Each structure stands twice: as C-alpha cells, then as structure tokens.
Structure 1
Amino acid sequence: MIRIDVRRKAFGEEEVLRDIRFEMEIGETVAILGPSGVGKSTLLRLVAGIDTAFEGEITRPENIAMVFQEPVLLPWRSVIENLTLVHPQLGSQAALSALERTGIADRAGLFPGQLSLGQQRRLALARAFAGRPELLVLDEPYVSLDPAMAEDMLALTEALIAETAPAVILVTHSEAEARRLARSCLRLAGKPATIIEEFAAAPGRAS
C-alpha cells in the first residue's frame, strides 16, 4: 500500500499544498489533474522523494522510477548507455530488448541530441520501465507532442504498464489521458492547493 499524506508544503512563506491524502496499491494508476502552477509537479517530487521538505508522511516502495515533462537524459552518453548506466544489472541484450520494446533499438548507438523529441520520450520510458519499478511517477510525459505522436506514446505506456504492473501516479492536463490510463482521478485546485474532487475513470477500468 502506498500512502500519501501531505499536510503542508511551502516554499518560504508561500504555502503551495495542504491536506492532500490518498492511498493506492501496487498495480493501480491514479491521475492528478489541475491547472498549471497549482502544485502537481511539486506533489510528484514529494512522492518520488526528490523533495523531502514538507509536513506529513509518505509511505512508498524503494523501487521508484520517474519520467519528467522534459526527457532528462545524459547527453554525452549513447542511447543504450542511458539505460545501462542507470540500470547496471542490465546486460547489453536486455538493454537492447528494452529499446526494441519502445521502438528505438535502431538508435542504440546515437546520442540523445540526435533523437527527435518523440524518440527521446521513448528512451525516457524505456529507462523508467527497464528497472521494473513498483512505483512509476509520470509528470506530463506527453506534453508538446503532436496528437498522432501523443497517441502512440499513450498506447506504448498502456502496454508497458500492463506488462510490468507498477503503481502509477500520472500528472496531466488532459482528462482524456487521465480517464484512459487511470482507475481514479484527483483534481487539485486552490491556493494552497488541495484535492477538490475525486472521481473514477471510465467504468470497468482495470487497476
């Protein structure tokens, strides 16, 4: 069980989050919705353990992966090295299989700067899923993509989640994305932000 209890998060005198509480299980996907600047990415950084300066308590597994709004890649390392350096337990064949699964095995020897934005996003997904995380945190992973590419990435994410079954927390502006990937959705609003609405995704949606 993953438990999020953020009683208060502030930057200096500015309080940005208050009384955000929810629970989820491994294999469940929860989407976080809300306007720009409300504090969604701040909440994800708390969940992932990147930021620990808050009042409250978060119970989470140790094996966590995060995909940011912009692909955070090592520009001086090749595509395949971006996997093997983060996951040293992967052999070259396993790393190539992960790249093949995300459709970029033929780019293994290139550097991130030689990839399109869509290919960089695929590499970020490959790196996240290669470690088979128990908790996957996605911070608007489809932003800035054209509709066709976003659809391809959504389908790929769905397939990878089905294969590895982590708990997933997805931040998105798109209610359609949330309803497609998540079982339950939380909407943040206010200043400081709190949960103003919780609703189920499409009826019958699996965890």
Structure 2
Amino acid sequence: MIRVDIRAKHFGPTQVLGTVRFDIAPGETVALVGPSGIGKSTVLRIVAGIDNRFEGNVTRPDAMAIVFQEPTLLPWRSARDNLLLTQPGLSRDGAERALTRVGLEGRGDAFPGHLSLGQQRRLSLARAFAGSPELLIMDEPFVSLDPDMADQMIGLSEALIAEHRPATLFVTHARSEADRLADRVLELSGTPASLTN
C-alpha cells in the first residue's frame, strides 16, 4: 500500500500545497488532475521521494519507476543500453523482449536521437516496466503528442499496466486521459492546493 499524507509544502514563504492525503492499493491506478501550475508535479516529486522538504510523510516501496513528461534518455547510449544501465538484473534477451513489447523490435542498437518522439516515449515505458516496479509514477507522459500518437501511447500504457499491475500514480491535466486510464480520479484545487475528492 502506498500511503500519502502531505500536510503542507512551501516554496519559501509561499504555501503551495495544503492537505493532500490518499492511498494507492497494489494494482490500482490513481489519476491526479487539476489545472496547470496547481501543484500536481510537486505532489508527484514528493511521492517519488525526489522532494523531501514538506510536512507529512509518504510510505512507498523501493521498487519504483518514473515516466517523466520528456523521455529523459541517455542520448549517448543505445536503446538497449538505456534499459540495461538502469536495470542491472536485466539480460540482453530480456531487454530485447522489453523493446519488442513496446513496438521497438530491431531498434536496440538505435540511439535516442535516431528515434522519433513517439519511439522515445515507448523506450521510456519499456525502461519503466523492465524493472517490474511495485509503484509506477507517470508525469503527463502523453503531453505534446498529436491525438493519434497520444491514443496509441495511452493504449500501450493501459496494456502494460494490466500485465504488470503496479500501483500507479498518473498525473495529467486532461480529464479524458484520467477517466480512461485510472480506477480513481483525484482533483487538486484551491490555494494552497488540496484534494477535493
């Protein structure tokens, strides 16, 4: 069980988050929605352990993966090595299977700069799931994609989540994405931002 209990988060004298409390059960997908700038990514960084300057506490597993808005790949490493470097227990064959699963069969030797944005996003998903995370965090991973590509990526994410069943926290400003992917939708609102449902 992932347990989030944020009582306050400040940036200098400005309080940006108020009470943000929720749990995520194993295998459950929770979407966090709200307008741009409300604090969704701040909540995500706190849940991920990237930001520990807040009042409250978060209980999370060690086996965790994050898919950011941008692919955050190592440009000087091949697609295969982007998987192997982050997952030391993964075999070369396992990396190839992970690439094939996301539609990148035969692209293991390609460098990120030789992949389209959609392919880079697929590689980011492969990297996230290669380690069999107990907690998956996704920060607006479909932003800046055209509608057809976004639809494909949402479908791929749905399939991978259904196969691996991690607890998933999905941050988006698009309610349609949240309704499609999530078992439960939480909304941030107000100043300082807090949960309204």
TM-score (norm 2): 0.98
The letter for the 1-side match of 2:38 is V
Q: Aligned-pair distance for 1:33?
A: 0.4
1:58-114 C-alpha deviation (Å, 9 max, x unpaired) = 011111100001111111111100000000111100000000000012221111111
The letter for the 1-side match of 2:101 is R
Query: 3-state DSSP class of the match of 2:18?
Result: strand
- Please give the alpha-carbon distance, in whole angstroms, between the structure 1 residues aligned to 2:41 and 2:94: 31
Q: What is the correspondence of 1:105-184 to structure 2 with a 5 Å cutoff?
A: 105-184=105-184
1:19-64 C-alpha deviation (Å, 9 max, x unpaired) = 1001121100100000001010010000011111111010111111
Q: Aligned-pair distance for 1:153?
A: 0.4
The letter for the 2-side match of 1:143 is V
> Is the CA contact 2:24–2:168 (under 8 Å) kept in the aligned structure 1?
no
Aligned to 1:205: none
Aligned to 1:23: 23
The letter for the 2-side match of 1:141 is P
Return 5+ residue gaps in structure 1 as ranges: 199-207
1:168-194 C-alpha deviation (Å, 9 max, x unpaired) = 000111111111111110111112111
Q: What is the correspondence of 1:71-82 to structure 2 with a 5 Å cutoff?
A: 71-82=71-82
- Which aligned runs of 4 or more in structure 1 are off by greater than 6 angstroms? none
Aligned to 1:64: 64
Q: Residue 2 in 1 paired to residue 27 in 2?
A: no
> Is the CA contact 2:69–2:141 (under 8 Å) kept in the aligned structure 1?
yes
1:129-158 C-alpha deviation (Å, 9 max, x unpaired) = 000100000000000001110111011001
Q: State percent identity of aligned pairs.
A: 59
Kindly tell me the number of residue pairs found equivalent between the two proteins. Answer: 197
The letter for the 1-side match of 2:51 is D
Query: 3-state DSSP class of the match of 1:108?
Result: coil
- Please give the alpha-carbon distance, in whole angstroms, between the structure 2 residues aligned to 1:162 and 1:116: 26
Aligned to 2:85: 85
Q: What is the correspondence of 1:181-196 to structure 2 with a 5 Å cutoff?
A: 181-196=181-196
Query: 3-state DSSP class of the match of 1:85?
Result: helix
Return 5+ residue gaps in structure 2 as ranges: none
